Amino acid sequence: MEININRLMSDIEAYSQYGLGSNGGVTRPSFSEADYTVRDVFKTQLEEMGLEVTIDPIANIWGKLQGSRANNEAIIVGSHLDTVPNGGKFDGALGVLVAKEIVQTLIDHKVKLKHDLEIVSFTAEESNEFNYSTMGSRAFAGKFKEAELIDAVDSKGIKLSDAVKKAGGDISKIEKLPNKNIAAYLELHIEQGRKLEKEDLSIGIVDNIVGVYRDKVIVEGVANHSGTTIMEERQDALVAASEMVVSVQKHAKKVNSDAVATVGKLEVFPNATNVVPGRVEFMLEIRSANKIERELLIKDIQQSFKDISEAHNVKLSFINRLNHQECSFDKQLIEAMKDVAESLGHPYIVIPSMAGHDAMHMADITKAAMLFVKSANGISHNPKEFTDSEDIRKGANTLLQSLIKIDKELTLTEMHESSVDI
């Protein structure tokens, strides 16, 4: 049994039309008009496939294919249909449409799993106007209180609760989530990096998602006249901050692993041609799947900032903004995917995900794992985002067969456990 790659590719093309811009980019953030439209299209198609469609309180869309065992737990497959502004056709949508194709393939071949099989499209995976990324999966995993979301508004003054309601959700009920019995969660996604391309491989099995640490760094010197302040007397916040930025790269390069560190946002005050910069604020971000290594890198970079600030006679402060721990995926699911990839003759590597995904929240409430497919040139969040149909075919078939294998394995484990209980 194989997925129908032509049907899948035309689905990807068809979905990319919702929010398509003149340069080929897709702009479909959650709660945009294009998002509301694509939600309707998706729900209608799931219904036409004969699935039981539901919208949960945070407006995640679910489509259930009943399993052969009554009251069974569900295996969930999905991703997200929202995009960043001017994003690509594949980030998120690919995982949802592969899930749909897999379910259609099972229906076509009259294969019934023991578990219920549910497709999910999570709300607002990408950062959006309301400033919550992975909002749908986070809420589904029970990580939001109603009070945290109830006052959120976008730049036009639209309330998040109204936007969610328009999509069929109800924020007043989010504390009832998760509202399902789940056996496992699987997600296929584009890699958004170049590791698979470098190895010339179609698929990667993801063993964990990196931890992400972010500090807001404030450097305070003295703003003064750029003509009358002699060089020896300056307390130039930007010169000190510039050395810090260079030091971030030096330290990260010294670490012999996947660790990455970035200063991606920097603001200069007063930001005037004839004023020595008195204050600089920037964001320092450090990612690594290895907690010890990540913490060591944070310490080394912070120490180098302290040394630089002393040398330039400027004040330095750190405000921690994020300290997301790394997430490990389920070993049983990883082994199942490895076995399947080997038996299908698709070589793979096991890699960490350097970006956050819905799967990291699902991993807190169930067994979870992810499968990556190659991204051309590692480009994503960009109209040039591309994955070849042959890589998609191999990824989707690996996921399909993994689901079938996991369905058998997880059922066996449960039956064994219940017989012990008796």
- Nearer Cβ to Zn ion, position 164 or 370? 370
Q: Which residues of 172-208 are buried (b: 16+ CB within 10 A; e: fewer)?
A: eebeebbebebbbbbbbbbbbbebbeeeebbbbbbbb
Comparison of 84 and 167: residue with beta carbon closer to Zn ion: 84
Q: Bin 84: left if φ > 0, else alpha if -120 < ψ < 50, else beta.
A: beta
Nearer to Zn ion, 11 or 385 (CB): 385
How far apart, in whole angstroms, are the C-alpha atoms of residue 185 and residue 135?
A: 17
Q: Output the smallest distance, CB 98 to Zn ion, in A.
A: 13
Query: How many residues form the binding site for Zn ion (CB under 5 A)?
Result: 2
- Closer of 89 and 312 to Zn ion (Cβ): 89
Question: CB of 267 within 8 A of CB of 306?
Answer: no
The answer to whether 152 and 97 are in contact (CB under 8 A) is no
Cβ proximity to Zn ion, 92 vs 383, nearer residue: 92
Q: Which stretch binds Zn ion (CB under 5 A): 88-96, 154-162, 169-177, 345-353?
A: 88-96
Residue with tokens 């020896």: 232
Instruction: Give yes or no for residue 352 binding Zn ion (CB under 5 A).
Output: no
Minimum CB–partner distance for residue 125 and Zn ion (Å)? 5
| Rounded least distance, CB 27 to Zn ion, Å | 15
Q: What is the distance between the alpha carbons of residues 408 and 403, in angstroms, rounded to a whole number?
A: 9
H runs (alpha helix) in 167-290: 195-199, 237-254
Report the run of H or E that residue 74 belongs to, with start and end.
strand 74-80
Taking contact as CB under 5 A, which single stretch among the options 43-51, 86-94, 195-203, 256-264 is the one that binds Zn ion? 86-94
CA dihedral 348, 338, 69, 142 (to 10 degrees): -70
Q: How far is the CB of 80 from Zn ion (least distance, A)?
A: 6
Greatest Cα pair distance, the chain, in angstroms, is 87
With CB under 5 A as the contact rule, the residue among 92, 211, 352, 356 that binds Zn ion is 92
What is the closest distance, in whole angstroms, from the C-beta atom of residue 204 to Zn ion in the complex?
Answer: 15
Q: Is 116 in the site for Zn ion (CB under 5 A)?
A: no
Identify which range of 58-66, 89-97, 312-320, 345-353 contacts Zn ion by CB under 5 A.
89-97
Report the residue number whose CB is nearest to Zn ion: 92
Does position 211 interact with Zn ion (CB under 5 A)? The reply is: no
Among 11, 73, 91, 101, binds Zn ion (CB under 5 A): 91
Q: Quick one: tokens of 51? A: 């699935």
Positions that interact with Zn ion (CB under 5 A): 91-92
